[in-house]
Structure 1
């Protein structure tokens, strides 16, 4: 079986690349998907495609709606959803994606550091795993996709 894993969350670090590299090194049959991570393109897609808006609210609204086409479609197709909350910015969109994935009944893996544990307690409660590192995510994916736990033999 080829598993589809949606990677949601902060776009300012290389955590997605680390997971992709780990998945590749482990030889997992996993397809990784996610949002558009080019910040400016994501912000401006609505006005670039549908026309300029004088009011920033409508500028952002158009972009959010077009981005939602991708996000909702890929979340619906995912077998597993990973949501990373970074240190630098509050990722409201990541929290929304976590709630949306949970409502769809998708297995949810959350990644964040200890300082965000209190703020994310409801998100963590909905997750099937709460991790701190991309390596932990890769190990979970290795285990759930092929039933093998590193260091254990049959």
Structure 2
């Protein structure tokens, strides 16, 4: 068995690299959003033209990024959504909702103090992890049947 895993969520820490490195021995293909924050924010106006109003600037970027996100979630076997500590991540919640609506296997990762505000998202997830290492252990178990050492 092989898995296509989409790594959605916050882009301010290296959690994706931790998962990729930990799962290097597994038959997993990872995809992710554009994690260059400036490029992600400015892609719409860089490609489609400037906007005087920041709302429309941001909307253009969100729409262009949504092309990548929709395709990646649709193609994924598993969607991992990480909620970080610093920002309110409405985009991560939206990605989790899309994954759940499409019947994708959903793994959520966040700190324990976010359990209450994310309770509905956690309820839709098949696994709720606190660390990237736990995400790797879930993927390892799913693919090999082996428990962590």
Question: Secondary structure of 1:72's match?
Answer: helix
**Cα distance in 1, alignment partners of residues 132 and 148 from structure 2:** 16
Mapping 1:58-97, distance limit 5 Å: 58-97=56-95
**Cα distance in 2, alignment partners of residues 55 and 150 from structure 1:** 51
Query: Is residue 143 of structure 1 aligned with residue 144 of structure 2?
Result: no
* Cα shift readout 1:82-121 (whole Å, capped 9, x = no counterpart): 0000001111100000000000000000000111111000
Instruction: Name stretches of at least 5 consecutive residues in structure 1 with no aligned partner.
Output: none
Tell me how far 1:149 sits from its aligned partner.
2.1
- Match 1:50 to one of 30, 48, 51: 48
Which aligned segments of 4 or more residues in structure 1 are displaced greater than 4 angstroms?
none
Aligned positions, number: 149
Aligned to 1:15: 15
Question: Secondary structure of 1:11's match?
Answer: coil
**Cα distance in 2, alignment partners of residues 32 and 66 from structure 1:** 20
CA RMSD of aligned residues (A): 0.8
Instruction: Name stretches of at least 5 consecutive residues in structure 2 with no aligned partner.
Output: none
